[in-house]
Structure 1
């Protein structure tokens, strides 16, 4: 018994230890999935001129206190020197430094690739390396090669001038919209230190502004709302996976009037819907603290009266009458069949077809055989419960 008890205790300790290890493994796995790093550039340009310098940072979101980490860097999926959070590229080269950069911490996920484009040119239109979404701020820079002087900077969108000649080499949009997608171009006049041989140079880039969330759609539950039902109206939209953490706010309208202002909830509930709740419903979605918003199409929601419609009542009445008529016909046919089953086959029974007297329609006929009855003989032992009739036949 003592050995058995000791074995049980040891087994329990082993099981608890194994469970603890499993929990820790799950915890580490979840932490590893939650700390996917992001590569950022400083300055924040995805394209640079040869000879420029840039610093790459491996940003690791974390909910735990900061602790020393070891980093690994990759270019085009190949390891490159560097075990610190920041990777410096000084005096960039076209052939050496262009490519997709990724970083990773020990036990963590590897980041998504970010492309650095090193170009050899006089003028370069610089843009951020990351994807541009509606509502994001956008800054473009008309950059020129070192050792030269640049003047008369201009910016164009789809060949339309959007910023006149200025000494400032940047163009800024506080909250970009999808309608502002297009081909952007900048021009500069470049000359050397001797102020001779001034020449114009330009560069262009296509800016594509992605949709932050899909156009919203109004959905109602239940599909047919009866007066007194709880009605749920939902503003259905989908965030872009790369911006899944974006906080959105929702507002609801009926016939153009606000029924619920902006809130983080995408549903509007009516606990007990009434007939006056019928109308054209729309919803609007917007990014928090942003002018970017999208309105859904209208959806007419009809609140139906809880009384039965007249057509339903009429159908029920007609159905009841049909049942009554059919039942009466069946009963009549059954009685008629039972009555004819007692008829003598030698006696022809008058029918409704050859009897034109309406008073005789319900007369029951029978056959009496009196051929064996003696003339003048009377029936004895009269029964008071029997009704007798005398048949006079002069031929007997």
Structure 2
């Protein structure tokens, strides 16, 4: 259980680190006015907003439909043409390209305008505008082809505190006077409500908790790049009971943990206007008795598990691997020598091994008087019996004068 919690928390920290690292320098494109549609002849300014942590000289580049068009922080369209419709992105010298933002330049009589980015909790305003220079009368609004605001003089539709269910297709119909008559013209637009911030998650530090340790729980979430300055509040719960009220602090500390602190914990994140509130998934904290720690490295992240489970399995696996490698080496040595010296029972005849006695290079030559014949005889003493026999079998040698014994 502890290992599962550790792996889950480690993966969560990695994901949060990657997400935050990617969003720290990711620019966003904003429109002024904040409209996804304009008429031909109207003006609009685009700005490339980058995170304030980026320091030094920053260069900017603008792209329309993946084609480079500009090299400053802002890009302006003074008198829009239909050809200005497209997907716009910006990039800085310290970042990747931003997400694309769509602009539509319309030359009809009526257009339904919406903000370029809509987030949960926003007050959505849809504007049913007619072409400048013409007069218009009443307007009607639809949502998924159902009337939500009947004929009236208002050319704006207000929807407060939108959520994900507000994502749909909207349409307006307006009476426009031209050629001395009133004509009905319509336009529609799709609104996609985006998440203001991600579902919160809880991480713990340290990963292995023993009685008496200081435990810190951190509630993580990620704001949209377009809403980085939104104020969020955090609260913590133990088994569903509130243990820390909403505040700007996204951490909760237990200075001196006890076994009774082994509980289920959740955190909650809300906006300062209380419109959006999200609850994290449950995180189970396990406080261990003193002495239950099985593996701890003070210089790195702690790795823990229940006694007798994963560490024992790891030790057995390592020992088995070493034993297998040892047996493989022994087998290779055995095969090597069996090829050089065939074992009994093989088809190949065993190699003959000859054993030679050490050669005694010392030979004693001496003479002796034969009392029977009265003659001197020469004898040679060799290390092998065969040499002595040969010498004894030789005929006696007569010597007329005394000889000295010669030794080599």
TM-score, reference length from structure 2: 0.52
Cα distance in 2 for partners of 1:185, 1:134 equals: 21
Cα distance in 2 for partners of 1:304, 1:72 equals: 55
Which residue does 2:81 correspond to in 1? 93
Q: Quick one: structure 1 residues 239 and 37, their matched pair in 2 at CA, closer, same or farther if it must change by over 3 Å?
A: closer
Question: Helix, strand or coil for the counterpart of 1:198?
Answer: strand
2:41 to 25, 43, 51: 51
1:79: Cα distance to partner? Answer: 5.1
| Contact 1:231/1:271 (<8 A) preserved | yes
| Contact 2:24/2:53 (<8 A) preserved | no
2:195 aligned with 1:205: no
1:220: Cα distance to partner? Answer: 4.9
Alignment of 1:172-183 (within 5 A): 172-183=158-169
2:174 aligned with 1:188: yes
Question: Helix, strand or coil for the counterpart of 1:214?
Answer: coil
Which residue does 1:150 correspond to in 2? 136
1:246: Cα distance to partner? Answer: 5.3
Cα distance in 2 for partners of 1:54, 1:254 equals: 51
Cα distance in 2 for partners of 1:85, 1:218 equals: 39
2:91 aligned with 1:117: no
Unaligned runs of 5+ in 2: 1-22, 293-408
2:139 aligned with 1:134: no
Q: Give me the CA root mean square deviation.
A: 4.4
1:60: Cα distance to partner? Answer: 6.6
Cα distance in 2 for partners of 1:140, 1:263 equals: 34
Cα distance in 1 for partners of 2:93, 2:204 equals: 48
Q: Quick one: structure 1 residues 229 and 161, their matched pair in 2 at CA, closer, same or farther if it must change by over 3 Å?
A: farther
Cα distance in 1 for partners of 2:261, 2:93 equals: 58
| Contact 1:142/1:170 (<8 A) preserved | yes
Cα distance in 1 for partners of 2:192, 2:204 equals: 34
Q: Quick one: structure 1 residues 236 and 37, their matched pair in 2 at CA, closer, same or farther if it must change by over 3 Å?
A: closer
Unaligned runs of 5+ in 1: 1-32, 309-396
Matched residue count: 270
Deviates more, 1:204-213 or 1:173-182: 173-182
